[in-house]
Structure 1
Amino acid sequence: MSGNDYIKYMTGQIIAYMDLSTDEKKSRRKKHKERDALSNRWLGMVPFAMKMLWKKAN
Structure 2
Amino acid sequence: MAKSDDLVKYITQQVVTYIETPREVRQQVKAISKEQRESWQTRWFGMLPLATRMLIDQAKPKKVK
Is TM more than 0.5 here? Answer: yes
State the aligned residue count: 45
Point out the structure with max Rg over C-alpha.
Answer: 2
| Unmatched 5+ stretches in structure 1 | 48-58
Greater than 3 Å deviation, 4+ residue runs = none
- What is the TM-score of this pair, normalised by structure 1? 0.59
- What is the TM-score of this pair, normalised by structure 2? 0.54
- More helix by percentage: 1
Identical aligned pairs, as a percentage?
Answer: 18
> Higher relative contact order by CA 8 Å / sep ≥ 6: 1 or 2?
1
RMSD between aligned residues: 2.2
| Unmatched 5+ stretches in structure 2 | 47-65
